[in-house]
Each structure stands twice: as structure tokens, then as C-alpha cells.
């Protein structure tokens, strides 16, 4: 009889412990879902404020932190302008070279990496036989070769022959996969502005301008929206969206990307 009672007590304790664990898991899942929904809601709120017809109420794409409260979550939203970044899929090799150099690399390294990036994304202006390109990768101990198509992520550039983590980390904040071929200098950060200035000087010295350093993008903007939601039970979730806004677009905007991390 005593052993029966002990067994019953053990089973009851085990069931109670399992119930508490399952309740905690369910509560954590609910907290994460709350944070995710709040982050998505904040992105929509940001789009609404970017499109506000009142200039004094419109949110600028200048990195300012905006705090929102949605339900039980607090959200910090920041907006940046991707038209001020350099798009390695569309930029000329000369502009990419100028960016790498402006980010701290020496001229020889910048030139070699810019050519390697151009071969990777298919924008090379100087033809090299595929066999020569493959030979470079094999010599570096790599068992692959450039795909010759647009990069799908910024991390993909880390696979390019000669690229180092330090160089990629230096240029990453100035890159986008959604911007134009030439960034708008009025919206560029100091490093991109320095790259555009360097490119302009080199183009003027060669007598063969590569591309205009200043291009007006007054009609449309490419907004990068980053919303970090702090929900119940210490849940934290960051949602990033890239949205093109401007005249002629459906509803005034179009979503280019919407996920946990966007390059």
C-alpha cells in the first residue's frame, strides 16, 4: 500500500512538472508571437508616417529613433535611405573600388577586390576567360567559381576570392542590394560621399567619366525600416523591411523585402 502511494505521488509530481514546463513553453511562444506582431505593426506604422502628406509630420529617413507602444510591446523604429548606399549588383567596378579604398583598404587591394566582385555579380567591364577566373579560385583553395549573377545577400560577397572578414565588415554598412546604380550623394554617409568624390576625381583625370557622381532621386525613395520589438517575458524581435516610396507607385509604395534580416 505504501509503495502504491509513493508511486502515485511520483506520477502526480511528474505530471505537474510537465504541465509547468509546457505552460512556460506556451507562454514563451505567445511572447515571441506578440513581439513579432508588434514589429510588423510598427513597420506598417512607419510606412504610413513616411507617406504623410504633411511635411512637418512626415518621418525622415535619417536614422532617428521613433518609439511606439503596441499592446504589451515597446518598439524602436529607425529609418534609413538606401538610395545613399552603394549597390554592388548595379554599381560600376570603379565605384566599388572607390568604396573599398574609402573604407580603409589600399589602392591595389581595392582594385583587385572590385574586379573580383564585378566578375562575381556579372558587371565586369574587362573580359577574362572563365578558365583564368577558375584558376584564381583554385589557387586560393576554393572549390567554386563566380556565378556571374547578382548577389542575393551581402554575406555572399564573403565568398569572393581575396575578400577578408575585415574588408567586408568595413564596407557592409555602406552597401545595399536595393539601391540604384549610383547613390544619391545628398543622402550618402561620409564614406559613400568620399567614394563618390574619389570616383569623380579619377574620372575627371582620365578624361573618361565613369558615371555622374550626383544623381537626383527626388521622386522616389528607398526606405530601410528597422523595427525592434521588446515584448513580454523579455522577448525581442527585429524586423527589417525595404520599401520604395514615391509618385506613380501603387498606394504610393511597394515592398521590396520584409523579413528578420535584410541586406
In 3D space, the residue among 115, 124, 119 whose CA is nearest the CA of residue 134 turns out to be 119
Q: What is the pLDDT of residue 259?
A: 80
Q: What is the pLDDT of residue 196?
A: 96
Cα diameter, the chain? 101
Q: What is the pLDDT of residue 224?
A: 95
DSSP 18-59: HHHHHHHHHHHHHHHHHHHHHHHHHHHHHHHHHT-S-TTTSP
Among the ranges given (69-73, 102-106, 144-148), the one the predictor scored with the smallest mean pLDDT: 69-73
**CB of 5 within 8 A of CB of 204?**
no
Q: What is the pLDDT of residue 251?
A: 87
Enumerate long-range contacts of 24-27, CB under 8 Å, 24 or more apart: 27/233
Query: Looking at the predicted structure, is the pLDDT value of residue 9 above 70?
Result: no
Compute the average pLDDT of residues 61-88: 94
Q: What is the pLDDT of residue 27?
A: 75
Compute the average pLDDT of residues 145-151: 96
* CATH code: domain of residue 98: 1.10.40.60
Q: What is the pLDDT of residue 217?
A: 47
Which is more confidently placed, 145 or 216? Answer: 145
Residue listed under C-alpha cell 586560393: 140
147 in the same domain as 109: yes
Tell me how many domains the chain contains: 2
In whole angstroms, what is the distance from residue 134 CA to residue 126 CA?
A: 16
Phi, psi values for residue 258, rounded to 5° = -155, 100
Q: Residue 216 falls within a domain, yes or no?
A: no
Q: What is the pLDDT of residue 92?
A: 96
**CB of 157 within 8 A of CB of 151?**
yes
Query: Looking at the predicted structure, is the pLDDT value of residue 219 above 70?
Result: no
77 in the same domain as 102: no
Q: Residue 215 falls within a domain, yes or no?
A: no
Among the ranges given (13-22, 84-93, 231-240), the one the predictor scored with the smallest mean pLDDT: 13-22
DSSP 83-129: GGSB-TTTS-HHHHHHHHHHTT--HHHHHHHHHHHHHHHT--SS---
165 in the same domain as 119: yes
Compute the average pLDDT of residues 16-38: 75
Compute the average pLDDT of residues 138-165: 96
104 in the same domain as 60: no
Question: Which structural domain range is residue 97 located in?
Answer: 88-175+189-206
Among the ranges given (119-133, 173-187, 212-226), the one the predictor scored with the smallest mean pLDDT: 212-226
Q: What is the pLDDT of residue 168?
A: 98
162 in the same domain as 52: no
- The CA dihedral of 154, 155, 160, 166, to the nearest 10 degrees, is 100
Q: What is the pLDDT of residue 247?
A: 80
Q: Residue 180 falls within a domain, yes or no?
A: no
Phi, psi values for residue 25, rounded to 5° = -60, -45
In 3D space, the residue among 103, 105, 202 whose CA is nearest the CA of residue 162 turns out to be 105
List the grid coordinates of 20: 509547468
User: Is residue 43 very low, low, confident or very high in pLDDT (cuts 50, 70, 90)?
Assistant: very high
Encode pLDDT of 166-209 as tens digits.
999 999 999 999 988 999 998 899 999 999 999 999 988 765 54
List the grid coordinates of 207: 578624361
113 in the same domain as 127: yes
Which is more confidently placed, 38 or 10? Answer: 38
Compute the average pLDDT of residues 209-213: 47
Amino acid at each position: 500500500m505504501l509503495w502504491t502511494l509513493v508511486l502515485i505521488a511520483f506520477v502526480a509530481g511528474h505530471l505537474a512538472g510537465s504541465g509547468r514546463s509546457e505552460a512556460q513553453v506556451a507562454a514563451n511562444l505567445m511572447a515571441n508571437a506578440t513581439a513579432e506582431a508588434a514589429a510588423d505593426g510598427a513597420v506598417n506604422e512607419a510606412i504610413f508616417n513616411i507617406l504623410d502628406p504633411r511635411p512637418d509630420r512626415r518621418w525622415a529617413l535619417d536614422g532617428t529613433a521613433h518609439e511606439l507602444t503596441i499592446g504589451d510591446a515597446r518598439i524602436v523604429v529607425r529609418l534609413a535611405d538606401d538610395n545613399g548606399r552603394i549597390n554592388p549588383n548595379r554599381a560600376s567596378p570603379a565605384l566599388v573600388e572607390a568604396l573599398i579604398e574609402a573604407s580603409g583598404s589600399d589602392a591595389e587591394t581595392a582594385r583587385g577586390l572590385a574586379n573580383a566582385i564585378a566578375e562575381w555579380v556579372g558587371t565586369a567591364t574587362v573580359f577574362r576567360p572563365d578558365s583564368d577566373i577558375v584558376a584564381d579560385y583554385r589557387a586560393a583553395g576554393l572549390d567554386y567559381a563566380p556565378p556571374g549573377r547578382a548577389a542575393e545577400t551581402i554575406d555572399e560577397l564573403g565568398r569572393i576570392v581575396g575578400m577578408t572578414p575585415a574588408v567586408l565588415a568595413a564596407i557592409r554598412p555602406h552597401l545595399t542590394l536595393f539601391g540604384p546604380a549610383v547613390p544619391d550623394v545628398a543622402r550618402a554617409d561620409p564614406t559613400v560621399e568620399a567614394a563618390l568624390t574619389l570616383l569623380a576625381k579619377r574620372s575627371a583625370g582620365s578624361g573618361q567619366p565613369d558615371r555622374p557622381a550626383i544623381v537626383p532621386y527626388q521622386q522616389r525613395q528607398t526606405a530601410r525600416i528597422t523595427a525592434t520589438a521588446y515584448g513580454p517575458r523579455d522577448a525581442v524581435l527585429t524586423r527589417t523591411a525595404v520599401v520604395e516610396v514615391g509618385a506613380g507607385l501603387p498606394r504610393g509604395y511597394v515592398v521590396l523585402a520584409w523579413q528578420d534580416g535584410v541586406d
